[in-house]
Structure 1
Amino acid sequence: MDAAPAFRHVETLQTTASPERIWALWSNTATWPTWDPPVEKVVLDGPFRVGTTGHMVMAGGFEMPFELEVVHPDERYLDVLRMGELEIRVDHVVEATDGGSLVTVTTEVTGPGADGVGAMVTADAPTALAALVAQAEAEPEPLPVIP
């Protein structure tokens, strides 16, 4: 959509986990319910790449279809949920820093009821991001390959 979002929320967290560890959790949709509280299940209709569609089953059994609009491995993905005139865009970005990563999730909502929907879908954003980072930090980094 071309209109400016009616609702915008940005959540950022510094972590000692590498961008690759964050990406490993993001790109494996089976892990999403382990760190995103309202998500019960995610089904992708293909590989984790641009144009792939799928749906999320949220708490209470509510299904939300989505599409991966941007995918840059180890850096960024953007998923878009469209329900009629309502559009929810969730942009996930991880940037390498000294000793870890900076993880930023930006949610933008446009369409009827954007403010109310935006507040609802981002209510668990701090919890989800903290759980993602904790899980990434708990996983051991792969050992370097020594030739």
Structure 2
Amino acid sequence: MTFDYSRTVSTSASPAAIWALWSDPSTWASWDPAVVSVSLDGDFVQGASGTMVLTGGIEVPVTLEIVEPGARYLDQLVMGELVIRIDHVVAAGDSGAEVTVSTLITGPGANDIGPMVTADAPRALDALTAMAENGAV
């Protein structure tokens, strides 16, 4: 089974301001309501891994599969047989940045858990862009 979700927003924040928040996992809990904490074993680079604690105390391994500094990162969470890949892309827009976050979930029950996993995505994007617009980097 596969579940796919994507959302794009425009912001007056610069791509660099968005990237500054994305590339600092210590900020993730401040803009993503599903995240309690993230710790990486090392720098924010492709191949880095660590642990993400989600709301409800659920701890999952996280790996940065792709990191293109200033533009994109893709993280992967493994929860049993479910694999959650979240792709984050930022690009220059007409008066700031275009921010796209896409979630692909594969495995048994993906269609059932997908809406729960992505339920906070709009709030997370709104909070991320607001923080970047307000210079909270």
TM interval, shorter chain, is: over 0.9
Runs (5+) with no aligned partner, structure 1: 142-147
**How far off its partner does 1:140 sit?**
7.4
How many positions carry a matched residue from both structures? 137
Runs of 5+ unmatched residues, structure 2: none
CA distance in 1, matches of 2:21, 2:58: 23
Secondary structure at the aligned position of 2:130 is classed as helix
Bigger fraction of residues in strand:
2
Q: Distance in 1 between matches of 2:94 and 2:121?
A: 25
CA radius of gyration, larger in: 1
**TM-score, with structure 2 as normaliser:** 0.96
1:54 and 2:50 matched: yes
Equivalent position of 2:63 in the other structure: 67
The correspondence of residues 20-39 of structure 1 with structure 2, limited to 5 A, is 20-39=16-35
CA deviations on 1:67-123 (whole Å, 9 max, x unpaired) are 000000110000011233211000000010122000000000000010112111100
CA shift digits 1:31-70 (9 cap, x unpaired): 0000000211111111000100011111121101110000
Partner of 2:95: 99
Separation of aligned partners in 1, 2:127 and 2:52? 18
Percent of pairs with identical residues: 56
| Cα RMSD, aligned residues only | 1.4
- What TM-score does the superposition give when structure 1 sets the normalisation length? 0.89
Return closer, same or farther for 1:37/1:77 CA change in 2, 3 Å cut-off: same
Distance 1:140 1:57, change over 3 A: closer
